[in-house]
Structure 1
Amino acid sequence: MDLPRAFTIRESGHRVHNPFTEENLATLGRALRLAPGTRILDLACGSGELLCTWARDHGVAGTGVDISTVFLAAAGARAAELGVADRVGFVHGDASGHVAPEPVDLAACVGATWIGGGVAGTVGLLERSVRPGGLLLIGEPYWRREPPDLKTVEACGATARDDFLALPELLGHFGELGWDVVEMVLADQQGWDRYVAAQWLSIRRWLDENPDDEHAGEMRAELTTGPVSYVRYQREYLGWGVFALMKR
Protein backbone atom coordinates (compact mmCIF):
# COMPACT_ATOMS: atom_id res chain seq x y z
CA MET A 1 0.00 0.00 0.00
CA ASP A 2 1.76 3.10 -1.23
CA LEU A 3 1.55 5.99 -3.68
CA PRO A 4 2.63 5.41 -7.29
CA ARG A 5 6.37 5.95 -7.59
CA ALA A 6 5.95 8.66 -10.22
CA PHE A 7 4.14 10.79 -7.67
CA THR A 8 6.92 10.61 -5.12
CA ILE A 9 9.53 11.28 -7.80
CA ARG A 10 7.92 14.49 -9.00
CA GLU A 11 7.21 15.76 -5.47
CA SER A 12 10.41 14.61 -3.81
CA GLY A 13 11.47 18.21 -3.17
CA HIS A 14 8.14 19.32 -1.69
CA ARG A 15 7.18 19.86 1.92
CA VAL A 16 3.63 20.84 0.95
CA HIS A 17 2.01 18.59 -1.64
CA ASN A 18 -0.50 21.04 -3.06
CA PRO A 19 -0.51 24.62 -4.43
CA PHE A 20 -0.23 26.15 -0.94
CA THR A 21 3.02 27.90 -0.15
CA GLU A 22 4.53 27.67 3.32
CA GLU A 23 3.30 31.27 3.79
CA ASN A 24 -0.26 30.23 2.87
CA LEU A 25 -0.09 27.43 5.42
CA ALA A 26 1.13 29.81 8.12
CA THR A 27 -1.61 32.31 7.24
CA LEU A 28 -4.24 29.59 7.59
CA GLY A 29 -2.90 28.53 10.98
CA ARG A 30 -3.09 32.10 12.26
CA ALA A 31 -6.54 32.65 10.75
CA LEU A 32 -7.97 29.66 12.61
CA ARG A 33 -6.86 31.12 15.99
CA LEU A 34 -5.61 27.75 17.15
CA ALA A 35 -5.34 27.36 20.90
CA PRO A 36 -2.43 25.43 22.44
CA GLY A 37 -3.41 21.81 22.88
CA THR A 38 -5.80 21.78 19.91
CA ARG A 39 -6.08 18.17 18.74
CA ILE A 40 -5.85 17.61 14.99
CA LEU A 41 -6.40 14.67 12.67
CA ASP A 42 -4.90 15.20 9.21
CA LEU A 43 -6.00 12.61 6.64
CA ALA A 44 -3.72 12.20 3.60
CA CYS A 45 -1.20 14.34 5.47
CA GLY A 46 1.66 13.96 2.98
CA SER A 47 4.95 15.08 4.49
CA GLY A 48 3.26 16.43 7.60
CA GLU A 49 4.06 20.12 7.16
CA LEU A 50 0.68 21.28 8.48
CA LEU A 51 0.94 19.30 11.71
CA CYS A 52 4.64 19.95 12.27
CA THR A 53 4.64 23.71 11.70
CA TRP A 54 1.38 24.29 13.54
CA ALA A 55 2.69 22.27 16.49
CA ARG A 56 5.77 24.50 16.51
CA ASP A 57 3.89 27.78 16.01
CA HIS A 58 0.64 27.18 17.93
CA GLY A 59 1.28 24.31 20.32
CA VAL A 60 -1.22 21.94 18.71
CA ALA A 61 -0.97 18.16 18.81
CA GLY A 62 -2.23 15.50 16.48
CA THR A 63 -1.94 12.59 14.08
CA GLY A 64 -1.38 12.41 10.36
CA VAL A 65 -2.38 9.45 8.20
CA ASP A 66 -1.01 8.80 4.73
CA ILE A 67 -0.49 5.98 2.27
CA SER A 68 3.01 7.09 1.23
CA THR A 69 5.92 5.58 3.10
CA VAL A 70 8.26 8.12 1.46
CA PHE A 71 6.25 11.13 2.62
CA LEU A 72 5.74 9.71 6.11
CA ALA A 73 9.48 9.26 6.51
CA ALA A 74 9.87 12.92 5.59
CA ALA A 75 7.12 13.84 8.08
CA GLY A 76 8.88 12.05 10.91
CA ALA A 77 12.15 13.75 10.06
CA ARG A 78 10.44 17.15 9.92
CA ALA A 79 8.83 16.60 13.33
CA ALA A 80 12.24 15.79 14.80
CA GLU A 81 13.83 18.80 13.07
CA LEU A 82 11.24 21.19 14.53
CA GLY A 83 11.30 19.57 17.97
CA VAL A 84 7.64 18.52 17.96
CA ALA A 85 7.93 14.73 17.72
CA ASP A 86 6.43 14.44 21.19
CA ARG A 87 3.23 16.16 20.02
CA VAL A 88 2.62 14.83 16.52
CA GLY A 89 2.64 11.32 15.15
CA PHE A 90 2.16 9.69 11.78
CA VAL A 91 0.38 6.51 10.73
CA HIS A 92 0.90 4.57 7.51
CA GLY A 93 -2.55 3.61 6.34
CA ASP A 94 -5.51 4.14 4.07
CA ALA A 95 -6.93 7.50 5.10
CA SER A 96 -10.26 6.71 3.45
CA GLY A 97 -11.13 4.37 6.31
CA HIS A 98 -9.52 6.19 9.21
CA VAL A 99 -11.59 7.54 12.11
CA ALA A 100 -9.97 9.01 15.21
CA PRO A 101 -10.33 6.78 18.30
CA GLU A 102 -11.41 9.87 20.25
CA PRO A 103 -13.02 13.05 18.87
CA VAL A 104 -10.59 15.76 17.80
CA ASP A 105 -10.94 19.53 17.67
CA LEU A 106 -10.02 19.81 14.00
CA ALA A 107 -10.20 17.18 11.26
CA ALA A 108 -8.53 17.95 7.94
CA CYS A 109 -8.20 16.62 4.43
CA VAL A 110 -6.18 19.17 2.52
CA GLY A 111 -6.12 18.29 -1.15
CA ALA A 112 -7.18 14.65 -1.27
CA THR A 113 -10.98 14.50 -1.25
CA TRP A 114 -10.71 11.39 -3.39
CA ILE A 115 -10.37 9.54 -0.08
CA GLY A 116 -14.10 10.07 0.45
CA GLY A 117 -15.14 9.85 -3.17
CA GLY A 118 -15.44 13.65 -3.41
CA VAL A 119 -16.24 16.62 -1.22
CA ALA A 120 -19.47 15.29 0.29
CA GLY A 121 -18.01 11.91 1.19
CA THR A 122 -14.89 13.47 2.66
CA VAL A 123 -16.90 15.90 4.78
CA GLY A 124 -18.88 12.91 6.04
CA LEU A 125 -15.69 11.00 6.82
CA LEU A 126 -14.11 13.88 8.72
CA GLU A 127 -17.30 14.52 10.65
CA ARG A 128 -16.96 11.06 12.22
CA SER A 129 -13.75 12.21 13.93
CA VAL A 130 -14.50 15.79 14.99
CA ARG A 131 -16.10 16.83 18.28
CA PRO A 132 -19.34 18.87 18.34
CA GLY A 133 -18.41 22.48 17.60
CA GLY A 134 -15.09 21.49 16.06
CA LEU A 135 -13.62 22.49 12.73
CA LEU A 136 -13.20 20.70 9.41
CA LEU A 137 -10.59 21.70 6.85
CA ILE A 138 -11.14 20.79 3.22
CA GLY A 139 -8.58 21.58 0.51
CA GLU A 140 -10.14 21.45 -2.94
CA PRO A 141 -9.68 22.66 -6.53
CA TYR A 142 -12.24 24.91 -8.18
CA TRP A 143 -12.64 26.47 -11.60
CA ARG A 144 -11.14 29.96 -11.81
CA ARG A 145 -12.51 30.25 -15.33
CA GLU A 146 -15.09 28.21 -17.17
CA PRO A 147 -13.22 25.51 -19.15
CA PRO A 148 -14.10 25.88 -22.83
CA ASP A 149 -13.73 22.24 -23.85
CA LEU A 150 -12.96 18.70 -22.71
CA LYS A 151 -9.27 19.10 -23.60
CA THR A 152 -8.95 21.87 -21.03
CA VAL A 153 -10.87 19.85 -18.45
CA GLU A 154 -8.63 16.82 -18.89
CA ALA A 155 -5.45 18.93 -18.84
CA CYS A 156 -6.58 20.16 -15.40
CA GLY A 157 -6.74 16.60 -14.08
CA ALA A 158 -10.50 16.12 -14.37
CA THR A 159 -12.59 13.79 -16.52
CA ALA A 160 -15.63 16.10 -16.74
CA ARG A 161 -16.40 19.75 -16.02
CA ASP A 162 -18.53 18.73 -13.04
CA ASP A 163 -15.57 17.08 -11.31
CA PHE A 164 -14.80 20.56 -9.96
CA LEU A 165 -17.09 23.47 -9.11
CA ALA A 166 -16.69 27.20 -9.52
CA LEU A 167 -15.83 28.93 -6.25
CA PRO A 168 -19.38 30.21 -5.52
CA GLU A 169 -20.76 26.75 -6.32
CA LEU A 170 -18.21 25.08 -4.03
CA LEU A 171 -19.02 27.33 -1.08
CA GLY A 172 -22.72 26.81 -1.74
CA HIS A 173 -22.14 23.05 -1.76
CA PHE A 174 -20.66 23.19 1.73
CA GLY A 175 -23.82 24.96 2.87
CA GLU A 176 -26.01 22.33 1.22
CA LEU A 177 -24.12 19.71 3.25
CA GLY A 178 -25.04 21.56 6.45
CA TRP A 179 -21.78 23.37 7.16
CA ASP A 180 -20.90 27.05 7.54
CA VAL A 181 -17.78 28.28 5.78
CA VAL A 182 -15.99 30.18 8.55
CA GLU A 183 -12.58 30.82 6.96
CA MET A 184 -10.71 30.25 3.74
CA VAL A 185 -7.25 30.81 2.30
CA LEU A 186 -6.93 30.58 -1.47
CA ALA A 187 -3.84 29.70 -3.45
CA ASP A 188 -2.75 32.07 -6.19
CA GLN A 189 -0.81 31.51 -9.39
CA GLN A 190 2.49 31.86 -7.52
CA GLY A 191 1.38 29.00 -5.30
CA TRP A 192 0.56 26.92 -8.35
CA ASP A 193 3.97 27.73 -9.83
CA ARG A 194 5.79 26.70 -6.68
CA TYR A 195 3.85 23.44 -6.58
CA VAL A 196 3.98 22.45 -10.25
CA ALA A 197 7.11 24.15 -11.59
CA ALA A 198 9.16 22.83 -8.68
CA GLN A 199 8.29 19.32 -9.85
CA TRP A 200 10.14 19.85 -13.13
CA LEU A 201 13.53 20.28 -11.47
CA SER A 202 12.92 17.22 -9.29
CA ILE A 203 12.02 15.18 -12.36
CA ARG A 204 15.03 16.39 -14.37
CA ARG A 205 17.49 15.67 -11.59
CA TRP A 206 15.95 12.25 -11.06
CA LEU A 207 16.23 11.52 -14.81
CA ASP A 208 19.88 12.54 -14.86
CA GLU A 209 20.57 10.17 -11.96
CA ASN A 210 18.34 7.30 -13.17
CA PRO A 211 18.45 7.19 -16.98
CA ASP A 212 17.83 3.45 -17.15
CA ASP A 213 15.05 3.24 -14.56
CA GLU A 214 11.81 1.61 -15.67
CA HIS A 215 9.98 4.89 -15.02
CA ALA A 216 12.44 7.03 -17.00
CA GLY A 217 10.36 7.06 -20.21
CA GLU A 218 7.21 8.09 -18.36
CA MET A 219 8.97 10.86 -16.47
CA ARG A 220 10.78 12.12 -19.58
CA ALA A 221 7.45 12.38 -21.45
CA GLU A 222 5.96 14.29 -18.52
CA LEU A 223 8.84 16.76 -18.41
CA THR A 224 8.71 17.25 -22.19
CA THR A 225 5.03 18.17 -22.39
CA GLY A 226 4.15 19.22 -18.85
CA PRO A 227 5.40 22.82 -18.67
CA VAL A 228 3.52 24.02 -21.76
CA SER A 229 0.37 22.17 -20.75
CA TYR A 230 0.53 23.63 -17.27
CA VAL A 231 0.81 27.28 -18.32
CA ARG A 232 -1.80 26.86 -21.05
CA TYR A 233 -4.44 25.12 -18.96
CA GLN A 234 -4.02 24.42 -15.26
CA ARG A 235 -2.43 27.74 -14.33
CA GLU A 236 -5.16 29.68 -16.09
CA TYR A 237 -8.29 27.70 -15.33
CA LEU A 238 -7.86 25.95 -12.00
CA GLY A 239 -7.96 27.51 -8.55
CA TRP A 240 -7.36 25.85 -5.21
CA GLY A 241 -8.12 26.69 -1.61
CA VAL A 242 -8.54 25.45 1.92
CA PHE A 243 -11.93 25.99 3.53
CA ALA A 244 -12.72 25.88 7.25
CA LEU A 245 -16.18 24.56 8.12
CA MET A 246 -18.33 24.36 11.24
CA LYS A 247 -21.52 22.33 11.54
CA ARG A 248 -24.73 24.37 11.48
Structure 2
Amino acid sequence: MRILVANVNTTQAMTAVIAASARAVAGPETDIIGITPSFGAESVEGNHESYLAAVAVQEAILHYSGEYDAVIQAGYGEHGREGLQELCTVPVVDITEAAASTAQFLGHRYSVVTTLDRTVPLIEDRLLLAGLSQRCASVRASGLSVLELEQDPQRTLDAVVAESVRAVEEDRAEVICLGCGGMAGLEEEVRRATGVPVVDGVAAAVAVAESLVRLGLTTSKVRTYAAPRPKRIIHPVAPT
Protein backbone atom coordinates (compact mmCIF):
# COMPACT_ATOMS: atom_id res chain seq x y z
CA MET A 1 0.00 0.00 0.00
CA ARG A 2 1.33 3.45 -0.91
CA ILE A 3 -0.04 6.63 0.72
CA LEU A 4 0.85 10.14 -0.42
CA VAL A 5 1.05 12.55 2.52
CA ALA A 6 0.82 16.08 1.14
CA ASN A 7 2.10 18.99 3.19
CA VAL A 8 0.06 22.14 2.51
CA ASN A 9 3.07 24.46 2.72
CA THR A 10 6.38 24.60 0.88
CA THR A 11 8.68 23.98 3.86
CA GLN A 12 10.58 20.76 3.15
CA ALA A 13 11.57 20.31 6.80
CA MET A 14 7.89 20.29 7.77
CA THR A 15 7.17 17.68 5.12
CA ALA A 16 9.92 15.51 6.62
CA VAL A 17 8.41 15.82 10.12
CA ILE A 18 4.93 14.99 8.84
CA ALA A 19 6.15 12.01 6.82
CA ALA A 20 8.13 10.67 9.80
CA SER A 21 5.03 10.93 11.98
CA ALA A 22 3.03 9.02 9.37
CA ARG A 23 5.66 6.27 9.06
CA ALA A 24 5.76 5.83 12.83
CA VAL A 25 2.16 4.56 12.87
CA ALA A 26 1.83 3.04 9.40
CA GLY A 27 1.67 -0.71 8.98
CA PRO A 28 4.73 -2.60 7.73
CA GLU A 29 3.15 -3.00 4.32
CA THR A 30 2.49 0.75 3.92
CA ASP A 31 4.87 3.01 2.00
CA ILE A 32 4.58 6.69 3.00
CA ILE A 33 5.57 9.29 0.40
CA GLY A 34 5.91 12.89 1.59
CA ILE A 35 4.77 15.48 -0.95
CA THR A 36 5.75 19.17 -0.89
CA PRO A 37 3.93 21.64 -3.19
CA SER A 38 6.05 23.43 -5.77
CA PHE A 39 4.47 26.80 -4.98
CA GLY A 40 2.63 28.48 -2.14
CA ALA A 41 3.44 29.85 1.31
CA GLU A 42 6.20 28.54 3.56
CA SER A 43 3.54 28.28 6.27
CA VAL A 44 -0.23 28.39 5.87
CA GLU A 45 -1.88 30.64 8.45
CA GLY A 46 -4.73 32.47 6.75
CA ASN A 47 -7.40 32.32 4.09
CA HIS A 48 -5.31 33.55 1.16
CA GLU A 49 -2.51 31.09 1.92
CA SER A 50 -5.02 28.31 2.52
CA TYR A 51 -6.75 28.72 -0.84
CA LEU A 52 -3.38 28.91 -2.56
CA ALA A 53 -2.39 25.70 -0.78
CA ALA A 54 -5.52 23.96 -2.07
CA VAL A 55 -4.43 24.62 -5.65
CA ALA A 56 -0.79 23.78 -4.94
CA VAL A 57 -1.59 20.41 -3.35
CA GLN A 58 -3.87 19.47 -6.25
CA GLU A 59 -1.05 20.33 -8.66
CA ALA A 60 1.43 18.25 -6.68
CA ILE A 61 -0.82 15.20 -6.56
CA LEU A 62 -1.77 15.40 -10.24
CA HIS A 63 1.90 15.55 -11.22
CA TYR A 64 2.99 12.62 -9.06
CA SER A 65 4.06 10.01 -11.59
CA GLY A 66 3.85 6.82 -9.52
CA GLU A 67 0.92 4.73 -8.37
CA TYR A 68 -0.72 5.31 -4.98
CA ASP A 69 -3.63 3.97 -2.96
CA ALA A 70 -4.67 6.97 -0.85
CA VAL A 71 -3.92 10.65 -0.25
CA ILE A 72 -3.63 12.45 3.07
CA GLN A 73 -3.95 16.23 3.07
CA ALA A 74 -1.74 17.27 5.97
CA GLY A 75 -2.95 20.73 6.88
CA TYR A 76 -5.19 21.75 9.77
CA GLY A 77 -8.13 23.88 8.68
CA GLU A 78 -9.62 24.63 5.29
CA HIS A 79 -7.43 23.47 2.38
CA GLY A 80 -9.82 22.31 -0.32
CA ARG A 81 -10.07 18.61 0.42
CA GLU A 82 -13.18 18.45 -1.75
CA GLY A 83 -11.20 19.42 -4.86
CA LEU A 84 -8.81 16.55 -4.30
CA GLN A 85 -11.72 14.18 -3.91
CA GLU A 86 -13.01 15.19 -7.32
CA LEU A 87 -9.64 14.65 -8.93
CA CYS A 88 -8.62 11.40 -7.22
CA THR A 89 -10.04 7.92 -7.65
CA VAL A 90 -8.49 6.80 -4.35
CA PRO A 91 -9.51 7.77 -0.77
CA VAL A 92 -8.60 11.30 0.32
CA VAL A 93 -8.31 11.97 4.07
CA ASP A 94 -7.91 15.38 5.70
CA ILE A 95 -6.03 15.46 9.03
CA THR A 96 -8.48 17.93 10.62
CA GLU A 97 -11.40 15.60 10.05
CA ALA A 98 -9.43 12.44 10.84
CA ALA A 99 -8.37 13.79 14.24
CA ALA A 100 -11.84 15.05 15.20
CA SER A 101 -13.65 11.89 14.12
CA THR A 102 -11.12 9.75 15.98
CA ALA A 103 -11.50 11.90 19.10
CA GLN A 104 -15.24 11.20 19.14
CA PHE A 105 -14.54 7.52 19.73
CA LEU A 106 -12.52 8.42 22.82
CA GLY A 107 -14.57 10.98 24.74
CA HIS A 108 -17.79 12.99 24.77
CA ARG A 109 -16.19 16.31 23.76
CA TYR A 110 -12.82 17.24 22.30
CA SER A 111 -10.76 20.41 21.95
CA VAL A 112 -8.26 21.40 19.27
CA VAL A 113 -5.03 23.17 20.25
CA THR A 114 -3.54 24.94 17.26
CA THR A 115 -1.05 27.65 16.32
CA LEU A 116 -2.08 31.30 15.86
CA ASP A 117 -5.45 32.71 16.87
CA ARG A 118 -6.18 33.76 13.28
CA THR A 119 -6.33 30.08 12.26
CA VAL A 120 -9.07 29.27 14.78
CA PRO A 121 -11.99 30.38 12.54
CA LEU A 122 -10.64 28.31 9.63
CA ILE A 123 -10.57 25.20 11.79
CA GLU A 124 -14.01 25.94 13.23
CA ASP A 125 -15.40 26.33 9.71
CA ARG A 126 -13.85 23.04 8.53
CA LEU A 127 -15.26 21.16 11.52
CA LEU A 128 -18.69 22.70 10.93
CA LEU A 129 -18.66 21.83 7.22
CA ALA A 130 -17.56 18.27 8.03
CA GLY A 131 -20.35 17.82 10.58
CA LEU A 132 -17.86 17.46 13.44
CA SER A 133 -18.42 20.68 15.36
CA GLN A 134 -21.24 19.62 17.68
CA ARG A 135 -18.90 17.77 20.04
CA CYS A 136 -16.05 20.27 19.78
CA ALA A 137 -15.60 21.95 23.17
CA SER A 138 -13.18 24.59 21.88
CA VAL A 139 -10.44 25.49 19.42
CA ARG A 140 -7.58 27.11 21.31
CA ALA A 141 -4.52 28.94 19.99
CA SER A 142 -1.05 28.37 21.40
CA GLY A 143 0.10 31.74 20.05
CA LEU A 144 2.96 30.21 18.06
CA SER A 145 3.30 30.39 14.30
CA VAL A 146 3.80 27.24 12.27
CA LEU A 147 7.49 27.97 11.69
CA GLU A 148 8.07 28.75 15.38
CA LEU A 149 7.03 25.22 16.37
CA GLU A 150 10.41 23.78 15.38
CA GLN A 151 12.56 26.73 16.42
CA ASP A 152 12.17 26.26 20.18
CA PRO A 153 10.83 22.79 21.09
CA GLN A 154 10.53 23.55 24.81
CA ARG A 155 8.59 26.76 24.21
CA THR A 156 6.33 24.88 21.82
CA LEU A 157 5.69 22.10 24.32
CA ASP A 158 5.00 24.57 27.14
CA ALA A 159 2.52 26.56 25.03
CA VAL A 160 0.65 23.52 23.74
CA VAL A 161 0.51 21.91 27.18
CA ALA A 162 -0.77 25.13 28.78
CA GLU A 163 -3.65 25.48 26.31
CA SER A 164 -4.44 21.76 26.51
CA VAL A 165 -4.73 21.95 30.29
CA ARG A 166 -7.05 24.96 29.98
CA ALA A 167 -9.17 23.09 27.42
CA VAL A 168 -9.64 20.20 29.86
CA GLU A 169 -10.14 22.28 32.99
CA GLU A 170 -12.11 25.23 31.61
CA ASP A 171 -13.81 23.89 28.47
CA ARG A 172 -14.46 20.39 29.87
CA ALA A 173 -12.73 18.67 26.94
CA GLU A 174 -12.15 14.95 27.35
CA VAL A 175 -9.82 14.54 24.35
CA ILE A 176 -7.20 16.87 22.87
CA CYS A 177 -6.49 17.11 19.13
CA LEU A 178 -3.13 18.59 18.14
CA GLY A 179 -4.12 21.19 15.55
CA CYS A 180 -1.04 21.32 13.34
CA GLY A 181 0.99 18.69 11.52
CA GLY A 182 4.13 20.24 13.03
CA MET A 183 2.96 19.29 16.54
CA ALA A 184 3.55 15.59 15.88
CA GLY A 185 5.53 14.00 18.69
CA LEU A 186 3.96 16.02 21.51
CA GLU A 187 1.22 13.51 22.25
CA GLU A 188 2.78 11.78 25.25
CA GLU A 189 3.78 14.97 27.06
CA VAL A 190 0.35 16.53 26.54
CA ARG A 191 -1.37 13.32 27.66
CA ARG A 192 0.76 13.22 30.80
CA ALA A 193 -0.05 16.85 31.63
CA THR A 194 -3.79 16.60 30.99
CA GLY A 195 -4.65 13.00 31.79
CA VAL A 196 -6.76 12.69 28.62
CA PRO A 197 -6.22 10.99 25.24
CA VAL A 198 -4.31 13.09 22.68
CA VAL A 199 -4.84 12.66 18.93
CA ASP A 200 -2.30 13.67 16.29
CA GLY A 201 -4.08 14.35 13.01
CA VAL A 202 -1.41 12.82 10.79
CA ALA A 203 -1.38 9.56 12.74
CA ALA A 204 -5.17 9.42 12.76
CA ALA A 205 -5.31 10.08 9.02
CA VAL A 206 -2.90 7.25 8.30
CA ALA A 207 -5.06 4.83 10.29
CA VAL A 208 -8.20 5.98 8.46
CA ALA A 209 -6.57 5.83 5.03
CA GLU A 210 -5.17 2.35 5.63
CA SER A 211 -8.58 1.13 6.80
CA LEU A 212 -10.35 2.52 3.73
CA VAL A 213 -7.85 0.92 1.38
CA ARG A 214 -8.10 -2.46 3.14
CA LEU A 215 -11.89 -2.28 2.98
CA GLY A 216 -11.74 -1.53 -0.74
CA LEU A 217 -13.61 1.76 -0.25
CA THR A 218 -13.11 5.10 -1.93
CA THR A 219 -14.97 8.35 -2.57
CA SER A 220 -18.43 8.19 -4.12
CA LYS A 221 -18.41 9.65 -7.64
CA VAL A 222 -22.13 9.83 -8.37
CA ARG A 223 -22.75 13.49 -7.36
CA THR A 224 -20.75 15.79 -5.12
CA TYR A 225 -17.28 14.44 -5.84
CA ALA A 226 -17.77 13.38 -9.44
CA ALA A 227 -14.78 14.03 -11.67
CA PRO A 228 -14.74 17.53 -13.22
CA ARG A 229 -16.71 17.74 -16.46
CA PRO A 230 -14.55 17.86 -19.61
CA LYS A 231 -14.00 21.48 -20.61
CA ARG A 232 -11.22 23.88 -21.39
CA ILE A 233 -9.57 25.02 -18.15
CA ILE A 234 -6.69 27.49 -18.20
CA HIS A 235 -5.13 26.46 -14.95
CA PRO A 236 -2.01 24.58 -13.73
CA VAL A 237 -4.11 21.86 -12.10
CA ALA A 238 -6.48 21.21 -14.96
CA PRO A 239 -7.16 17.42 -15.05
CA THR A 240 -5.72 15.64 -18.05
TM-score range, shorter chain: 0.3 to 0.5
Greater strand percent: which structure?
1
Q: Which has the larger radius of gyration?
A: 1
Q: Tell me the TM-score normalized by structure 2.
A: 0.36
Q: Structure 1 length as normaliser, TM-score? A: 0.35
